[in-house]
Structure 1
């Protein structure tokens, strides 16, 4: 196997990047196939091997060798992988929706616009009965494990745990998939597993829901309806949130998830007002003794 073939095999998961990386280093006939594929990415996914060979002016064995150089077993595997790549890559290769660049103020306006749109959609979807059920379970929890896997969900999970422990409820955020399964297995009746997932299809989250529920813990999910996680959780706070087609904007769904977390935390605090007030007083007193500042400031900042 040549160095090019070895490198290609490692990068077969992303054929588009592989085509760019190996361009110019392939054998002459394989380079003809690479050039044609690069210029006709979508068309190639519906072509036969004979059609591609004819379009490139090469033999079908050459096409097969090219596919193997790209790290695929053959033409069928190559087409499947390319189709998968295109399904998620086209918006990045030729984005059709993108705001024009501007100064910092206009950038703030663009982010706020996406935030307002997403949060308004979320507000229309919330079911008060499910929110109330979640508040009741959280208020009475012996402990809360908050699960989120991935950038946005991990951040929201950390903030949820941060809010809940201040109210006098032991709470921890978990994003490691193995540790999540272990934590879920230690939960018992009266405990809560609170899960955040924009897609609802993360296997590690859905699996943890099954484990925790099996041991009697209450499982609460902030997620997309009709998802795998929604089917596993006992209480589902549905959030089917659109993302802005502009790929350069931040993911707005995490703001909506934070709003839900804040609403749950505030409602839990109001439900446990006596315990919560004393806990917050003790936290503020300990921080004042630590840094000496007595003026108004966010708790814990």
Structure 2
């Protein structure tokens, strides 16, 4: 007996074309949603800076008499900058120097410590390593504002309240940087290379300085940018730690100008705070633009074998 296969009934053309025609719609919808979210994010980021730029070009009359996103009738940016750098015997330049010292010095030292600690947690073996690393991760979960008061109490015991060291020393601790450095060490420093250097007789310190640290340049730049930005934008710790205006960072100094403009009847200080905020953004932009090429180069260094 011969068995013959019964052919399956053909799928109607309308159903076939209906499925194919229906596929691009969700894709186009997803692209529209993603582009819409990106546009909102760009506007959220750019509009405050744009308002700040336009407000810094106005005098006091135009600041309160014109729209927020238009330039002043009289372009007063030069006059505002001159007034900013000469007000109160040039106190703004002192605040700018303090912030640069806090941020650059603190970020460099903190990043070096984080990279060394992350490398040690990844490549070395020592007692209670994972438990100590767990405590560091707990430090990541605690917000900086919650530690400001305990740090102040400790600083008062040591006697460094209202001093440079009271703000500088806490900036050297960066638990999240240690976590990032360990992740980067596991990804960028092969264990085989470390073993080869040990076979050649190099110690742990020599191996880290000669082999590990050069391979972690990407980690160094990334952690430095995080910590530099965090210290530059720090506000609450200097607020509770400092009373001497000559030690203020930019954020705290601008806050005092804004407070005096509202509470003590000095409206010209409000314009100083606006112009000073615009100038304070410039160093951050310069640092990111300068270091991003090293960041990108390190991120793609191992992409091609």
The structure with the larger Rg is 2
The two structures have a TM-score, normalised by structure 2, of 0.21
| Structure with the higher helix share, 1 or 2 | 2
Larger proportion of strand: 1
